[in-house]
Amino acid sequence: MSNHPEFLESNGSRAESYLLPSAEPVQLIAANGTPAKARDYKESYPLPDHQTLVEGYERLVVGRRINDQAGALVRQGRMAVYPSSYGQEACQVAADMCLRRGDWLFPTYRDTVAVLGRGVDPLAAFESLRGDWHSGYDPHDHNTGIPTTPLATQLLHAVGVAHAAKLKGEDTVALALCGDGASSEGDFHEALNFAAVFHVPVVFLIQNNQYAISVPLIHQSVAPSLAHKAVGYGMPGERVDGNDLAALLAVLGHAVERARDGGGPALVEAHTYRMQSHTNADDATRYRSDAEVAQWVPRDPLLRLKKYLDDAGALGAADAERIAAAAEDMAKTLRDGLNTETTLDPLDLFRHVYSEPTPQLREQSRLLGAELAAAGHLAPEGAQS
């Protein structure tokens, strides 16, 4: 069924029903690792095959190791900040696995696991979190946007790329990630409205981890779910268990391929939980209890999928050994790279502001160059002239 404007105009009640998300979040594997009970969802979502789920499990294990290692590097002073995605890695893994190489991913600052899953060099992906200059990688090399701190801006970028792809007749799909906090931003509204009106191939994935830093969801929205917001824009919404990789693959995969086939945009809300603090600079104990966090421990996406695959006999000892080794290799790459000191050039502050430096920047560069030279750090000719 299409959500093209002509369809909506002539099929009012049917369209409204189609736009609404399922009554409950889609779940294919229960929290205890057993197949979930059959429910009446708005679409038929098949359970991915074992080979796909084993690949997803490996990505989850590597993603968890990335989060653990990054946290340790922050404590050692090797990174300035790290927004952990511990416990919600399944959303990022599914996002990667549902896209083709030519598609585009637009992550948030918490989606480093997704960025690495797109093939970005690990050290380049951590460049900005380390505090080094610029972003660390070219978005066009991997069709992956730069994780940045401003909320919801990446949604507009995704819509722009999707619109361009449509105008050029390409089959590219853009997938934009955001958190529940971003749904309160004006850019969120603008992105979804433009995407729906121009019927572009973009999928929005809200990782609803229940908190926008310290603000709980109930203080942001009293809608039945964030997925219900899709109805107001004229695009279908769906809800999914954000800790169930199988369900995420099915729901996101459906939305991505629907967009690729000309079905237009969709909004997916993944119900998950931020197990750790917002960043290393945050103290989550000030606004939520340990008991609340403990309720989500048994819903861990990694443990859930491992139990399912073990019971199915799909995860052998050799698989487990290979996956553990891959995770440790990633951790070693991060340790070795981020424990290496970098040589910084203060004059880079002026070199990359404009393609042609302004007179003011040239003057500031000369002044700083002279000061550094006087201190024995830099020759005067290093400054822009």
Residue burial 331-352, b: 16+ Cβ < 10 Å; e: rest: beebeebbeeeeeeeebeebee
Residues 19/230, Cβ–Cβ less than 8 Å: yes
* Helices and strands of the chain, counted as H and E runs: 17, 7
Total number of residues shown for the chain: 385
Q: Which of 297, 282, 286 is nearest to 87 (CA)?
A: 297
d(CA 338, CA 334): 6
Q: Give yes or no: 278 in active site.
A: yes
From the list 4, 189, 260, 287, the catalytic residue is: 287
CA distance 211 to 275: 10
Catalytic residue, from 142, 274, 299, 304: name it.
274
The two structure tokens encoding residue 97? 């696995």
| Cβ-defined contacts of 70-77 (< 8 Å, 24+) | 70/112, 70/126, 70/129, 70/334, 71/276, 71/280, 73/334, 73/335, 73/338, 74/280, 75/280
CB contact at 8 A, 75 and 82: no
Q: How far apart are CA 29 and CA 37, in angstroms?
A: 9
Note if 287 is an active site residue. yes
* Terminal alpha carbon distance of the chain: 62
Catalytic entry in 78, 254, 278, 299: 278
Could you give the CA distance from residue 87 to residue 61 in angstroms, rounded to a whole number? 11
Question: Is residue 254 annotated as a catalytic residue, yes or no?
Answer: no
From the CA atom positions of the chain, what is the Rg in Å?
A: 23
Q: Would you say 107 and 139 are in contact if contact means Cβ atoms under 8 Å apart? A: no
The CA-atom distances, in angstroms, between 171 and each of 101, 233, 292 are 12, 23, 43
| Catalytic site positions | 274, 278, 287
